[in-house]
Amino acid sequence: MSDWIAIAKLDDIPLRGSRQLKTDTVDIAIFRTGSDEVFAIRDQCPHLGGPLSQGMVHGNTVTCPLHNWKIDLESGQVKAPDEGCVNRYPVKVEQGVVYLGPLESHDA
Amino acid sequence: MREKLVLIGNGMAGVRTLEEVLKLDPEMYDITVFGEEPYGNYNRIMLSPVLAGEKSIEDIILNEKQWYADNGITLHVNKQVTQIDRYHRKVVADDGTEAHYDRLIIATGSSPFILPIPGADLDGVVGFRDVDDVDQMLETAKQYNKAVVIGAGLLGLEAADGLLKQGMDVTVVHLLDTLMEQQLDSTAGAMLKASLEARGMKFLMRHQTEALLGEGRVQGIRFANGQTVPTDLVVMAVGIRPNISLAQTAGIYCERGIVVSDTLTTYDPRIFAVGECVQHRGATYGLVAPLFEQAKVCANHLCQLGYGRYEGSVVSTKLKVSGIDLFSAGEFIETDGDETLVMQDPAEGIYKKLVIRNNRVKGAVMYGDTLDGSWYFQLLREETDISSFRSTILFGQHSVGDAGHSGGSKMVNLADDAEVCGCNGICKGDIVKAIQDKGLFTLDEVKAHTKAGASCGSCSGLVEQILVSTVGSDFDATPSKKAMCGCTDFSHDEVMEAIRKGALKDMATLFRYLNWSTPDGCASCRPALNYYLLSSWPEEYEDDAQSRLINERVHGNIQKDGTYSVVPRMFGGLCTANDLRAIADVSDKYDVPQMKVTGGQRIDLFGVKKEQLPAMWKDLNDAGFISGHAYSKGLRTVKTCAGETWCRFGTQNSIDLGVKLEHFTWGSWMPHKFKIAVSGCPRNCAEATIKDFGVVCIDSGYELHVGGNGGIKVRVTDLLCKVTTEEEVEEYCGAFTQFYREDAHYLERTANWIERVGMKRIKEHVVDNETGRKALNERFKVSQSVAQIDPWKERADGAESHEFNPLKIAG
């Protein structure tokens, strides 16, 4: 998978919401913020593995549904006072379609 | 170009204001700070422990110089501002340094009041205010033996205790005959004096100082009665005086302090003032909690938000002398018409006094056992009606049954490895370390950094105790008004009122109208706002799925492994053989790993994958089941016992009544989960007296109980009233539920709500006022007319399908 692949229409993701993307190797959470930006990070909280795609999206942040850790969607960094980070994946929106970038180099 | 903000006074109030400004808008100002002392901002309150040798200066620094650099702040230390040139809008320091300002904050603090008596300028005469004073005292203690402290107030006694610990022979001189008369009544004052005397402190009460004797260095002190006492050190602690001369010279209006409005603005609108130099509504403050409240409001206006308002502070004090527990707050000396509640145990050295007016706590003095100080202070500030627990209030919070305390074990005596927060496994030592290392001041900060008290919250009282014993009670004050979350300064009550009075009917309008600081809230305020909008405008507001937490969004409880549990509703706990067969079939078909009978008389199917939910719900729907809402902030279950239908003791048909109540109340969204039970006789097999609404059938009718909780902290219900017919039970149930829906804060169980507002208020609305009760019940019915839609059916029919189907990469 070295090319950008279409994964969904933008409208398939609710505003201030997310969708889970299952791949062979890893689950990815695709987020759409209130200002219509789209981000993709690994669907696993660095704390105890909670599914981030089930969390609440506010600003460019998602709050984990299990223990309320807050993760910055842009940087993948956990917000203070908690510490940690999550893998990010390249993602872009063109003409209402969401594309996921090549995974190899980012998928740890 | 950015505007210039200058701060005069590098102390706690001023720097806290800068921190608040940086939090609100880090890009707004170029900031310059002038400080007279060579240090960064340090924690002045901790000077007493430094004097007592328990801490070093490094321990109490709050903002290292690096902090100023990191935030792009220009810091001038060792420079005293000598002139404010308001015409050219600049300040000038003693070494000629100048800085221009667009906005200026004066936070010059206060100085110890030095008695204007002969000899006051001798060497060895000091105040107790800054690091210099403490250094001088420590030096003196090394070379000399005798010390006199003038003034037996809070500061004086802390200084005396510190000097005693440094090995000096200390005499405390006081003009009046009660110690700490601003904080203590005569009984508590006498107890304190006795215990300080037992440590070796000497007292000269009713002594007026006339002169300090000696040449070059102080050698003695003479009193108005002619008596003289030899000494090597005199500490003046007779009071503090706001530093206003700089402001006065600049022509800014001052009285005792620099006079400011509720926005912390001086008479010059470009100039703000905060902290101990300020006079607000006639009052000056010398404690930290009010300064922090001022800082927050001041920053609000500096950042041009324009809605913060400082309305004065109620303060509490606690003596930071280790081993002495003492607390006082509010009007602790009774005036005409007040009542006092007193508990005194001379053998144990315990004294508690509460001053009560109209069933509200107005003041408190405690000696020996101050465990409940912060609780009394909270009752005082929130003006809680105490009539329902007045008879036991002196025994403390644990006797009332609110969350928080475990027996009488005092936090100070607890070992460092004792577990405080059972949810997150946090020990006392972890909390103390975080408070000291990270300079934490508030309960919220401690929760954020340690997670102690951040889950179920039942240990909050203990965590607060640790905070108090670690940093002194100046910090124990939770703000008098609790902001809803970090996105706003408004409290739950203010937001609820704005929604109803301002007819705010959608979230975007609400954010704009109330100046929310974030574009779309956070995980804490969004669910609350969604609930308030929904309960205020049930027929108009459209529920926002993205503002609901996951459980309510997918109508199941998320489990730790990311699977969900499914609980079908069984009204009143009744079921048929066909029901059980249907559940068994579903369990087989979807390979449910485990089933369990719940405490609420339902069957729980665990370990269901999210994708399976809609199909499973459809099968259960087809068998006649609807969602059991076992995940919702709303009605969970109505539990019943056998009742007169079967039981030889039963007095009424409890099963039938329970089923009716469940049909009446299911589907309603509430501030928190809500449980009902109906017991057929006073033996109470359905445990109705630990439910939110409990019915206990009696021969002559029905007892209605409210506010019970079997969870984190067991709370037995309060009796609401007795009624005689099932119709009345239903009417009271609807009215009580609706009042809870309209009045309680989001995430507040009925138990906490009743403890906060008082049972009297509940009875006034639900029992005493018949018209009001009927109106409440009608509003509940209106809300139910649009709420009783089975979420399972909607989703089985395809609603919200994106929640249940992951995206897949094609090919």
- The pLDDT assigned to B811 comes to 45
Average pLDDT on B755-761 reads 86
Question: What is d(CA B421, CA B443) in angstroms, rounded to the nearest whole number?
Answer: 13
With beta carbons under 8 A apart, name residues in chain B contacting A15.
546
pLDDT at residue B331 tops 90: no
- The pLDDT assigned to B608 comes to 93
* In chain B, residues 233-262 whose CB comes closer than 8 Å to chain A: none
Q: Report the gap between the CA of A98 and the closest CA in chain B (Å).
A: 11
Question: What is d(CA A87, CA A75) in angstroms, rounded to the nearest whole number?
Answer: 9
Amino acid making up residue B154: L
CATH superfamily of B125-238: FAD/NAD(P)-binding domain (3.50.50.60)
pLDDT at residue B478 tops 50: no
Q: What is the CATH number of the domain that holds A88?
A: 2.102.10.10
- The pLDDT assigned to B326 comes to 82
Using alpha carbons only, what angle is made at residue B776 by residues B770 and B779, rounded to the nearest 5 degrees?
Answer: 145
Question: What is d(CA A36, CA A67) in angstroms, rounded to the nearest whole number?
Answer: 26
Cβ-Cβ contacts under 8 Å for B698 (sequence gap 6 or more): B651, B652, B681, B682, B722
Multiple choice CATH, B551-627, 3.90.550.10, 3.40.50.300, 3.90.480.10, 1.20.58.220: 3.90.480.10
Which tens digit of pLDDT belongs to each residue from A58-92? 999 999 988 889 999 999 999 888 889 999 999 99
Question: What is d(CA B453, CA B455) in angstroms, rounded to the nearest whole number?
Answer: 6
For the four alpha carbons of B658, B661, B665 and B667, in that order, the dihedral sign comes to positive
- Inter-chain touch B520–A59, beta carbons under 8 Å: yes
* Residue B543: how many other CB atoms lie within 10 Å: 14
| Residues found in chain B | 811
What is the band of A104 on the pLDDT scale with cuts at 50, 70, 90?
low
Q: Are B630 and B565 in contact (CB under 8 A)?
A: yes
Place of tokens 């009560």: B356
ipTM above 0.85, yes or no: yes
With beta carbons under 8 A apart, name residues in chain B contacting A66.
558, 560
Q: Map out the domains of chain B as residue ranges.
A: 3-110+242-302, 125-238, 316-400, 411-475, 492-548, 551-627, 635-787
Question: What is d(CA B495, CA B510) in angstroms, rounded to the nearest whole number?
Answer: 9
Q: Are B24 and B303 in contact (CB under 8 A)?
A: yes
Closest to A35 (Cβ–Cβ): which among B519, B521, B527?
Answer: B519
pLDDT at residue B28 tops 50: yes
Min mean pLDDT across A77-86, B47-56, B233-242 is at B47-56
Which tens digit of pLDDT belongs to each residue from B488-535? 888 899 999 999 998 999 999 999 999 898 989 999 999 999 999 999
Which tens digit of pLDDT belongs to each residue from B267-302? 999 999 999 999 999 888 877 778 888 999 999 999
CATH code: domain B3-110+242-302 is: 3.50.50.60
Place of tokens 């759409």: A32
Q: Is the peptide bond before B346 cis (omega within 30 degrees of 0)?
A: no
B344-356 burial string, b = 16+ CB within 10 Å, else e?
Answer: eeeeeebbbbbbb
Q: Does B518 touch chain A (CB under 8 A)?
A: yes
pLDDT at residue B168 tops 50: yes
Query: For testing the chain A interface, which of B520, B548, B563, B808 should be mutated: the one with the most A CBs within 10 Å?
Result: B520
Question: What is d(CA B90, CA B99) in angstroms, rounded to the nearest whole number?
Answer: 5
* Residue B200: how many other CB atoms lie within 10 Å: 10
Domain contains A38:
yes
Longest Cα pair distance anywhere in chain B, in angstroms?
A: 103
Q: Does B519 touch chain A (CB under 8 A)?
A: yes
Burial of A97 (0-12, 13-18, 19+ CB in 10 A): middle
Q: How many CA atoms lie within 13 A of B30 on its CB side?
A: 9
With beta carbons under 8 A apart, name residues in chain A contacting B809.
5, 7, 21, 23, 100
Closest to B519 (Cβ–Cβ): which among A14, A59, A81?
Answer: A59
**Topology (CATH level 3) of domain B411-475:** Arc Repressor Mutant, subunit A (1.10.10)
Domain contains A93:
yes
Architecture of domain B635-787: 2-Layer Sandwich (3.30)
Longest Cα pair distance anywhere in chain A, in angstroms?
A: 38
Percent of chain A with pLDDT over 90: 67
Going by C-alpha positions, the residue among B310, B285, B312 that lies closest to residue B296 is B310
For the four alpha carbons of B382, B462, B524 and B543, in that order, the dihedral sign comes to negative
User: Structurally, how many domains does chain A consist of?
Assistant: 1
Reading across the β-sheet that carries B217-223, which strands appear in turn? B209-215, B217-223, B228-230
- The pLDDT assigned to B186 comes to 87
Average pLDDT on B699-725 reads 92
Strands B81-85 and B258-260, sheet pairing: unpaired
